[in-house]
Amino acid sequence: MTTTVQKAAVRAVGTGHVRVEGRDKVTGAARYAGDIPFTELAYGWLVLSTVARGRIRDIASAPVLEMPGVLAVLDHRNAPRLKTDFVGMMGTRPDPTCAVFQGDTVPHLGWPVALVVAETPEQAREAAEALAVEYETLPHDIEFTGDHPDSRPADGRMPGVTDKGDLQAELTASAVVVDEEYTTPEEHHHPMEPHAATARWEDGRLEVVDSNQGTSWVVSELANLFSLDPASVRVRSEHVGGGFGSKGVRAHQVAAVMAATVLHRPVRVALTRPQMFALAGHRSPTIQRIRLGAYADGRLRALDHRSVSRTATVYEFVEASAGVARVMYDADAHHTENRVVRLDVPSPTFMRGPGEAPGSFALESALDELAEKCGIDPIELRLRNEPGRGPVSGLPFASRNLRACFEEGARRFGWAERDPRPGVRREGRWLLGTGTAAASFPAGAAPSTAAITAEPDGRFTVRISAADIGTGARTALTLVAADALDVPPEQVTVLIGDSEFGFAMIAGGSMGTRSWSMAVIAAARDLRERLVPGMAIPPEGITVRSDTTAQIAALARMERHSYGAQFAEVAVDPATGEVRVRRMLGMFAAGRIVNPLTARSQFTGGMIWGISMALHEEAVRDPAFGGPVGADLAGYHVATHADVPRIEADWVDDTDPDDPVGIKGIGEVGIVGAAAAIANAVWHATGIRHRRLPIRPDRVLTAAGTDA
């Protein structure tokens, strides 16, 4: 057969396409990790500690092993030993909460103490609930305060402290000063699809069918933990019902591999919704102090952003909220600091906009307070403080189109007609207000590999171990590949979520589509060079592989970020304290938008989470037992349909001519600044600042002094 490559009539990138797997998803044909059948499948059920700190004295396995269908009870006495002394692919050490059953110490409530495996999930659950675990209880400390004696600078993914200039001198000399504390609570990411993994050994190879944000990552962690050759580990993750940072390696995959190893049959471990509160990770609460000093015209002389977050005693994850100040605004004196307090709680982890989401609430609220004090419009204040270079890095910005976001956003939102005075607009029982905030999120890239096969029938198959966690990445890559191959998207099949396709970046850090696109475009370019019109394609096709390691290493060091301007209108009922968001607009500058249909959904999804963060989400830990009160989706409030008004998201041109793909991440920037825009609108409606999230009705009433 010869090539009959049909040329594409139009570019696919930039035109809206429904998800290529959309039909499969809505008809139920798409199978998620917990749905895929295996013969001889056994089911594991995790048993979590009921004490917040202590030691396991005894686990009464014997009676449980007599129960119907029970095959095994794994705990620290009989589980395989793991290697935990390594730094993994994402530059992190293994989290002991995930490297299960290696000792008798219990460092937090919900610590995995055993896995009960049985023939059916019901039998496993019944036996797990019957398993008697005896603890020696030790006193625990979960009370998070900014001045906790244990607080110390965080050595996370970024430096704990940055410092330039004489902060005190600049603050003293400032015409206007804002000095306030902002707090955000513990928050949880609960993707619709709970975490689930099935592990099995076949012909000396480990196969894990999983729901994760990156098969390469899970392979590397499991290979390290179990001292396996990575080539003998295969991880598949075809469809993923949400991740938001929570779907890396967690306890359930490790427990499933242990059980499959011991039992010599496939074992599935899925987390329940309540278990996810302990085992899926969460966003740490933050206590942030912001000090701004400005000239009378609003230009910053001093910027000080200090954040304290909470982490586990067994693992240091840092919610680096002060990081956003390092790239957003400059000042003559500039100080940022991330501190952590280690307490007896489960490990926090990445959660959509890690650092930026809570950090922007504090910083963008403080900017609004400064605008008020200076008597300057909040947009004008921000534009007067646009930096020419990275405030901390000193690097040039690749493209920084924040100004365009504000200008176009203000025009569409009707900002020009806004009366700046707070508390003066009434509509029946409602007080009305509008607010704005800026957003940014880094646009990074990491090495990936891809393969493209020219098939004998003229079609193309792309293989890349990307993850589509609901973002539309599979569809985006189909469009990118189609343009790179110069064929219509209908001629391209993109296969993802299989570690056999080679190393690839995870769906995380808003880096997935950008990183994978580089690999797909590189492979397509090489393949087109190989294909001569009229040449014969063998039955197995012609395959070309790419590896972007060198390309990524050669990228110029620059400040490269997505930006956005968030706008919100709220109505506040002063009698009940109820806050309703009436409308929102997000105007973004996020590089080349690959698929406008799914991109809009990404942006509005982040903004909706911003409503949720501003008004609803808050996990409250009971100091006595150490766990969250109401650890389910009834007790943990999230924004639902009734809370979400008309939301508009759009974007301005954001070209980056020096960049090989010009694509920036869009997964996280949508949540950044959204909560601040709402809080600023609540101030505009009522004249009262809310510096503590969420803005609950009781807090609105208390702040207004009308609390009965």
* SS3 per-residue string spanning 281-343: CCECCEEEEEEEEECCCCCEEEEEEEEEEEEECCCCCCCCHHHHHHHHCCCCEEEEEEEEEEE
Nearest CA to 33 among 207, 179, 171? 207
**Which C-beta is closer to ligand MOS: that of 352 or that of 560?**
352
Residue 15: other Cβ atoms inside 10 A: 13
Q: Which tokens hold the place of 239?
A: 């469809």
Q: Are 679 and 690 in contact (CB under 8 A)?
A: yes
Q: Which strands make up the sheet holding 449-454, listed edge to edge?
A: 492-495, 460-463, 449-454, 542-547
**Which C-beta is closer to ligand MOS: that of 510 or that of 595?**
510
Q: Which tokens hold the place of 584?
A: 């929102």
Minimum distance of ligand MOS from residue 351's CB (angstroms): 5
Minimum distance of ligand MOS from residue 626's CB (angstroms): 25
Q: Exactly one of 193, 369, 559, 668 is catalytic; which is it? A: 668
**Which C-beta is closer to ligand MOS: that of 114 or that of 312?**
312
CA distance 111 to 52: 8
CA distance 257 to 241: 22
Q: Which tokens hold the place of 613?
A: 């963060």
CA distance 447 to 551: 8
The verdict on whether omega for the bond into residue 391 sits within 30 degrees of 0, i.e. cis, is no
Helices (H), 131-272: 167-173, 215-225, 251-263
Q: Are 42 and 69 in contact (CB under 8 A)?
A: no
Residues 6+ apart with CB under 8 A from 218: 208, 210, 212, 235, 237, 248, 249, 253, 499
C-alpha dihedral, 452 to 455 to 459 to 464, nearest 10°: -20
**Which C-beta is closer to ligand MOS: that of 367 or that of 507?**
507
Minimum distance of ligand MOS from residue 272's CB (angstroms): 22
Polymer length of the chain: 708
Tell me the DSSP string of 44-67.
Answer: EEEEE-SSSSEEEEEE-HHHHHTS
CA distance 111 to 345: 9
Minimum distance of ligand MOS from residue 470's CB (angstroms): 11
Residue 634: other Cβ atoms inside 10 A: 8
Minimum distance of ligand MOS from residue 350's CB (angstroms): 4
Q: What is the DSSP letter of 93?
A: P
Residues that bind ligand MOS (CB under 6 A): 213, 243-245, 350-352, 354, 508-509
Minimum distance of ligand MOS from residue 353's CB (angstroms): 7
Minimum distance of ligand MOS from residue 620's CB (angstroms): 23
The residues with which 162 forms a beta bridge, in sequence order, are 336
Residue 68: other Cβ atoms inside 10 A: 11
**Which C-beta is closer to ligand MOS: that of 243 or that of 577?**
243
Minimum distance of ligand MOS from residue 247's CB (angstroms): 8
Minimum distance of ligand MOS from residue 480's CB (angstroms): 20
**Which C-beta is closer to ligand MOS: that of 319 or that of 455?**
319
Minimum distance of ligand MOS from residue 356's CB (angstroms): 10
**Which C-beta is closer to ligand MOS: that of 94 or that of 245?**
245
Q: Are 285 and 340 in contact (CB under 8 A)?
A: no
Residue 637: other Cβ atoms inside 10 A: 17
Residue 705: other Cβ atoms inside 10 A: 7
Which H or E element spans position 113? strand 112-118
Active site residue 668: yes
Q: Which residue is nearest to ligand MOS (CB)?
A: 245
**Which C-beta is closer to ligand MOS: that of 354 or that of 433?**
354
Minimum distance of ligand MOS from residue 508's CB (angstroms): 3
The two counts, helices (H) then strands (E), for the chain are 17, 25
**Which C-beta is closer to ligand MOS: that of 191 or that of 390?**
191
How far from 521 is each of 464, 481, 517, 611, CA to CA, in Å? Answer: 12, 6, 6, 37
How far from 322 is each of 289, 309, 337, 432, CA to CA, in Å? Answer: 10, 10, 6, 31
Tell me the DSSP string of 393-404.
Answer: T-PBBS---HHH
**Which C-beta is closer to ligand MOS: that of 244 or that of 397?**
244
Minimum distance of ligand MOS from residue 629's CB (angstroms): 25
Residues 6+ apart with CB under 8 A from 397: 389, 390, 558, 559, 560, 561
Q: Are 312 and 386 in contact (CB under 8 A)?
A: no
Minimum distance of ligand MOS from residue 144's CB (angstroms): 21
Q: Which strands make up the sheet holding 133-137, listed edge to edge?
A: 105-106, 54-59, 133-137
- Catalytic residue numbers, as ranges: 668
